[in-house]
Structure 1
């Protein structure tokens, strides 16, 4: 049973390679398009920028100290621009007009209230049009709240211990109860950056896997029309041999196409798709899903032109909704959820996870499992369809 399959598969592979279409569709087209997209749109995601207004209506030492530490924070250099504003109303106007993204407002008497152990009030003005600025401003206020709480507790404890009111501030500072320094973590701003050349490289690889597999399995319809399939089935071989051979060739060429696009992305742009073993596993699972889905189309189609039209339509639909043509994070939220209904969405999310996090195969078990499940279901349905009607 294995020998006839190998012979038919080898013959099909030779035919595909010598007619030239396999090399064009599997290697030249995806590599060329991925390179063009990478050159035109590649590079890291645009750098993060935020302008935050600073309104000090208190005039005390604490607001001035916070501003100085924000301006000096290494992790915010090149990210945060502070703009001093005279009033809360002016800050609100500039936030509404989009001049600044957010504003931090210290109300009058803030320092005096903190020094007396009563805490203090700080207002954050933000706009949904500039979420990063709002996140930064709120992060500063959250950290500052910890400082104020520590200072308040220290002042109350000092007063309860009998320290004279005039000496409380000096006592608190002398005993190091000012609270921790204002430190801002860059973790929420970093991590997960992926070169756009990787997005478009993986996208072209996933898209052309369908085209490559489709051109192979449609050959079944051509052979049925010409009568060569009937003659092949007369030979003493299992009846499923021709279909399985074409599916294997489609899978192999689709995987080779994805690996060629992967290699070109790494060599040309110096990018990384992540752990090689995990990337190869995802590519193999997606190639299997593409081969079985196109085989399912061939099992239901009546003519080659019908199969070509359906395969092309399916390829572009799953490519668009699956993030192969547009990065997933640029799609609306409901389309990001719809992407999980497509094999392209799963391989896109898996490869982005590998490239962004540096994780291994354990980090993409869900995409691998779903892609394998898609391949099994589509393979079973196509086998049933081929059994019923391919030779008619």
Structure 2
């Protein structure tokens, strides 16, 4: 343990002396967040116009309407009562509402997953923020129904909230750029480790009374601390400079930890597939860029088809990114339940990638020693 800690401290000192790493980790994402976020929207948000067609007319469907009309949501969600499915479709097509929720007849009597099948969400392709908020709102309500907590309205759902009363574009890009440059910041550390193996300078550590496991543990611990520091600095900086509200600190901290693990696991996995540090860096940079595009981190959600959000949720960086967006939308009332999927997804990717890379690295160290 002592040897691993000493190696960790040595790597941290080396990274702190690297001014390029500071630019990649903090300065570049802050600059892009300010530039893109303000250029696209002037930091302005929106009100969600939500249509509700209650075709069930049951106490439970009435509870959903009341759930949406809670007093603290009235300045954010403008509710329109709609009489039928046809009217809801027409309202969406004519842009009278951003989204519509159709509660089908028999909703109250449905059980389990059939309840979710009894609610249909309609939305136009240029209202992705509203669609995301509506889906999360419905999902939150259904979770309360399953847990028999329908009447506990003070717990917030994931709706479009932010300091200005809605999710601002600059808040969107604050989360986007933070996750994007987290992977690049960690990649530089993984590349340094691979370069030590390629140049065999790591043999000096191997010659000491330090086991390969301790060497790798120290290296990965340094990467973890670098990632946590970068995320903490970005969250603090965007909060101070742009007024971004990241949400409840506890779930934010949990997602920060799993996101850092994800970034390390992803970059280490990609680096371990290459023959040397140069090939690994090129491969990792290419894959990270492609995943960022698919994950929706370069494009504002308005105007994009629904398939883009589906694809984004299939990428590890997209899961982390949308997890932070969901927490920002939920405000101070967000919880671990708000981000269960991103937490599990990023944790699994991180642990699996680190385990695979550590196995390959341990084998490489044994070969050259």
* Shorter-normalised TM range: 0.5 to 0.7
* Partner residue, 1:22: 21
Q: State the partner residue of 1:9.
A: 8
List aligned pairs for 1:185-334, cutoff 5 A.
191-192=160-161, 193-328=166-301, 330-334=303-307
Aligned 8 A contact 1:298 1:307 in 2: yes
RMSD over aligned Cα, in angstroms? 3.6
Mapped to 2, the partners of 1:216 and 1:123 lie a distance apart of 56
Please give the residue correspondences for 1:121-140 in structure 2 after superposition, counting only pairs within 5 Å: 126=90, 129-133=93-97
Which of these two proteins has the greater Rg computed from alpha carbons? 1
- Poorly superposed stretches of 4+, deviation over 6 Å: 122-125
Note if contact 1:273-1:354 (Cα within 8 Å) is conserved in structure 2: yes
Q: Of 313, 318, 338, which aligns to 1:363?
A: 338
Structure 1 unmatched ranges of 5 or more: 51-74, 81-103, 105-121, 140-189
* Partner Cα separation in structure 2 for residue 356 and residue 259 of structure 1: 19
In 1, Cα distance between equivalents of 2:347 and 2:99: 39
Q: Is the CA contact 2:48–2:98 (under 8 Å) kept in the aligned structure 1?
A: no
User: What's the offset of the Cα at 1:221?
Assistant: 2.3
**What displacement does 1:324 show?**
2.0
Q: Please state how far the C-alpha of 1:31 moved relative to its aligned partner.
A: 2.0
- Ranked by relative contact order (alpha carbons within 8 Å, sequence separation 6 or more), the top structure is 2
Given candidates 351, 356, 360, the residue that maps to 1:381 is 356
1:209–1:287 contact (8 Å) kept in structure 2: yes
For 1:222 and 1:125, locate their aligned partners in 2 and report how far apart those are by CA, in whole Å: 58
Are the counterparts in 1 of residues 272 and 280 from structure 2 also a CA contact under 8 Å?
A: no
- Aligned residue for 1:335, secondary structure, equals helix
Q: Deviations over 1:5-56 (max 9, x none)?
A: 0111111111111132222222222222222223323524345689xxxxxx
What TM-score comes out, normalization by structure 1 length?
0.63
CA distance in 2, matches of 1:291, 1:256: 14
Q: 1:130 to 1:290 in 2, by over 3 A?
A: same
Q: C-alpha offsets along residues 54-96 of structure 1, whole Å, 9 cap, x if unaligned? A: xxxxxxxxxxxxxxxxxxxxx89xx89xxxxxxxxxxxxxxxx
- Residue by residue over 1:314-335, the C-alpha shift from the partner in whole angstroms, topping out at 9 and shown as x without a partner, is 2212212223222456542222
The worse-fitting range, judged by mean Cα deviation, of 337-346 and 9-18 is: 337-346
**CA distance in 1 between partners of 2:88 and 2:265 (Å):** 54
